[in-house]
A and B are shown apart, each in its own frame.
Chain A
Amino acid sequence: MKNSKNLSEPLIRLSKNDAMPPWKAWCVRAGAVVAAFIVCAFIIVILTGYNPIEVYVAMFKGSFGTSGKFWFMLQKTAILLCISLAVTPAFKMRFWNIGAEGQVLVGGLATAACMIYLDDALPTVLLIPVMIAASVLAGIIWALIPAVFKATFNTNETLFTLMMNYVAIQLVSCFVTIWEKPKGSNTVGIINAMSEIGWLPTIFGKKYLLNVIIVIGITIFMYIYLKYSKHGYEISVVGESENTAKYIGINVKKVIMRTMALSGAICGVAGLLIIAGTNHTISSNIVGGQGFTAIMVSWLAKFNPAVMVLTSFILTFLGRGASEIATTFRLNESISEILTGVILFFIIGSEFFINYKINFRTKHIEEDKK
C-alpha cells in the first residue's frame, strides 16, 4: 500500500457476487417488492388522495373475493404461465424470443379457423385433435422463421421476433374483418355460440379447470425437460457459451431450431387455450400484451419453471388487483399499468444487489490520504 497516497481509489467499487445463497437472494427480491408497494402507495396518495391501505385491501378483495373472481384469476395465471413456459427454453439458450405475442396469436388464429370452417365437417372428438395440431403447427411456423434466420445468418432475433408480432396482429385483424359477425361490427363474436363446437370441454363443472390442468402438465414437463433431459442440458450449454457447445460437438443450429420449435409449439397451445378454452372469440388484442409480460415472468423466475408459478401469479395479481381498484375507486384503468411498471422497475433493479457486491473504499486508505 505504498502508493496508495498517489492513487485515487473510487469511493465505490463493484465486483461480481456469484455466491449469494438463494434464500438471501429471495429476501432481496421480497424487499424490492415491499419497497415497490411503498412507492406505489405514495403514487396512489399523490394521484388520487385515497388511503393506500384501503386501496390494497380492495385489491385483495377484488382478486380473491368470490370464488368466481378466484377462478378467473387462476385461469389468467394459467395462461400467463403457459406463455412464460413457452419462452423459457429459448431464453435459457440466450435466444431473445420477444415474439410470444405473435406466436400465441397465430396459434389462436389457427384454432379459430378450425372452429369456423370445420364446425360441420368433423365430429367434436376429431375436431379438437385437429385444432390442437393446427395451433401447434401455426406456433411452430411463426417461431421457426426467425430461428432459421438466426441459425443460418445470425440475424438479430430480438428485432425479428418483435416485428413478427405485428405481422401476426395485422394478420388477425385481416381475418377478423373476414369472419366478422354481425357484419360491420369489426368483431368476430362468440364462435359457435349455440352449438359450442370446438369449445374445450368443461370438466367437474368448472369452466377453466381443464386449462389449469393442461398448464400444470406443461409446467411439470418443462421442469423435467430443462433440468433432467439431454436437450435441456444442450440448451444451457448453448446459452452459456456457443463456442463451448460447438467444441463438445453440439449442433448449435439444430439446438436453436429445435428449441424455438418447442417454444412456438407451446405458444400455439396457449393460443388454443385462450380461444377454444376461454374466450371463444378472436381479436387482434386478445393476447393483451401477455406475450410481453411472459418475458418478465420468465426472467424474474430466473428461467426456473417452478418459480414461474409464483411470479406469474404475482404479476397476474398485480394486473387484476389494479384494474379492480380502478373500478372500485373510479380511477382510470391505466393506473394498473403505472403500478405494474413501478413494481417491475424495483424487481429488475433488485437483481443488481443479488449479482453484484458493492465494495466501499476501505478506511485505512482514507486515513492514509490525510
Chain B
Amino acid sequence: MITLIFGFLRQAIIQGIPLIFGSTGEILTEKSGNLNLGIPGIMYMGGISGVIGAFFYEKYGDVSNVFLCVLIPFLASLAGSALMAFIYSFLTITLRANQNVTGLALTTFGVGVGNFFGGSLSSLFGGSGGTIALNVTGNYFKTTLPFADKLGLFGSTFLSFGFLAYLAIAIALTASLILNRTRIGLNLRAVGESPATADAAGINVTLYKYLATCIGGAIAGLGGLYFVMDYIGGAWTNNGFGDRGWLAIALVIFVIWKPKFSIPGAILFGGLYIIYIYIPEFTGMALARSSQELFNMLPYVVTIIVLCLTSMRKKREQQPPMSLGLSYFREER
C-alpha cells in the first residue's frame, strides 16, 4: 500500500510539472494585467520548438555532447514560446487589441504549428516521414540525479525526475519571491492592479507588461518542453498534450495568483488528472469507464468552486488583478 501511495504521488508530480510551468508563467502574465488565453498554444509551441531544435541538432550536431544536446532544445523552446508571447504582447499592449480574442487566436495558431511540424517535420526536411523519435535527447532530459536510486522510496518518489522538474519548482519559488519581496514585483503588481496609477508613479507600464508577458510565456513553454522531452521521451504525438494548457490556466485561479502555491496545487491537479487509474488499486473496486470521465472533470469543478468562494469572500488579496483583461491607453478615462 505504501509503495502504491508513493507511486501515485510520483505520477502526480510528473503530471504536475507542466502545470507548474504553465501556471507560473500565466501568473506572471496576469499580474501585469494580461489575461493570456494563448497559454495552451504557447505550451504547444514550447514543445515543438524544443523538438525542432533537438531534431536539427541530432541530425547535424554531435550527439555525444550532453550539454549542447540539452541546451539547444532548451533555448529553442524558450525562444519559440517567447516569440508567441511577443506576438500576443504586440497585439494587446501596443495595438491594444482585445485580450480574449487575441489569446484564443494564439491558441489556434500554436496548436496548429505544433501539430503541423510534429506531423511533418521529418518529411519536410528530407527524412523518411512518419513520427519523430528523438530518443537520445529524450534520454538526456530524463537523466536523474545519480544517487536517486540508492535512497529507496524517498529517492524514487522525489528525486527521480529530470532536471526540468526541479527547474519548475525553482522558477515557481523565484517568481513568488520576486513578486512579493522585490521592488520589481511591487511595480509589476501595481501595473496589473491599476496601470494608470502605476503610470503616474513613473513606472514604465508598457515595458513591464511586455517583459512579464514574454518571460511568462517562455516559462509556460518549458511545460511543453518537459512534456515532450521528459514525459514522452522525445517523441511527438498530435494533440498529445491535451487540455493541460487550460488546466494550467485553471490552476492559476485555484492557487489565487500565488506562484508558491502552484507547486502543491499542480501536484494535486496532477493527482486528480490520473486518480481514475489508481482508484481501482486503492479501493479494489473496478471503475466504470463513464466514471473515469467524471473524475477527469474534478480539476475543473474544484477550480470553479475556488473561483466562486474567493469572489464570495471578497478578500482583497485573493482577487484577480484589478485590470485583468483590459488594455491600457493612457489618454482614456
Are B312 and A162 in contact, with the CB atoms below 8 A? no
Q: Which residue of B lies closest to A178 (CB)?
A: B290
Closest to B243 in A: A166
A170-B294, A171-B297 given as contacts; is B112 within 8 A of A335 (CB)?
yes
B117 to nearest A CB, angstroms? Answer: 8
Q: A335-B112, A348-B91 are in contact. Are A166 and B312 (CB under 8 A)?
A: no
Contact (Cβ within 8 A) B98 A349:
no
Q: Evaluate whether A174 and B331 lie within 8 angstroms (CB atoms) in the complex, with A47-B124, A153-B312, A334-B115 already known.
A: no
Chain B residues closer than 8 Å to A333, beta-carbon distance: 115
A336-356 CB contacts (< 8 Å) to partner B: 336-338, 340-342, 344-345, 348-349, 351-352, 355-356
Q: Are A96 and B325 in contact (CB under 8 A)?
A: yes
Are A332 and B109 within 8 A (Cβ)?
no
Q: Tell me, rounded to whole Å, the shortest Cβ–Cβ distance linking A256 to chain B.
A: 14
Cα–Cα, bound, A31→B197 (Å):
37
Across-interface contacts of A171 in B (CB, < 8 A): 293-294, 297
The A interface is mostly helix, strand or loop, or mixed, namely helix
Interface of B toward A, CB cutoff 8 Å? 35, 37, 87, 90-91, 94-98, 100-102, 104-116, 119-120, 124, 238, 243, 246, 249-250, 253, 288-294, 296-297, 300-301, 303-304, 307-308, 311-312, 314, 320, 324-325, 329, 331-332
| Most central of B110, B111, B301, B304 by chain A CB within 10 Å | B304
Beta-carbon contact of B108 and A154 below 8 Å: no
| In the complex with contacts A162-B246, A167-B297, A334-B312 CB distance below 8 A | no
Query: Residue B91 contacts which of A15, A177, A334, A345 (CB distance < 8 angstroms)?
Result: A345
Residues of B within 8 A of A170 (CB): 293-294, 296-297, 300
Shortest Cβ distance from B313 into A: residue: A153
- Do A174 and B332 form a contact, CB below 8 Å, given A331-B120, A342-B109? no
**Interchain residue pairs A-B with the least CB separation, the first 10:** A337-B112, A341-B109, A352-B95, A170-B297, A334-B115, A344-B105, A174-B293, A155-B311, A334-B116, A173-B293
Min CB gap A2→B, angstroms: 24
- A163-B101 CB under 8 A given contacts A156-B320, A334-B119, A337-B108: no
| A299 with B98: CB separation less than 8 A | yes
Contact of B307 with A156 in the complex, beta carbons under 8 Å: yes
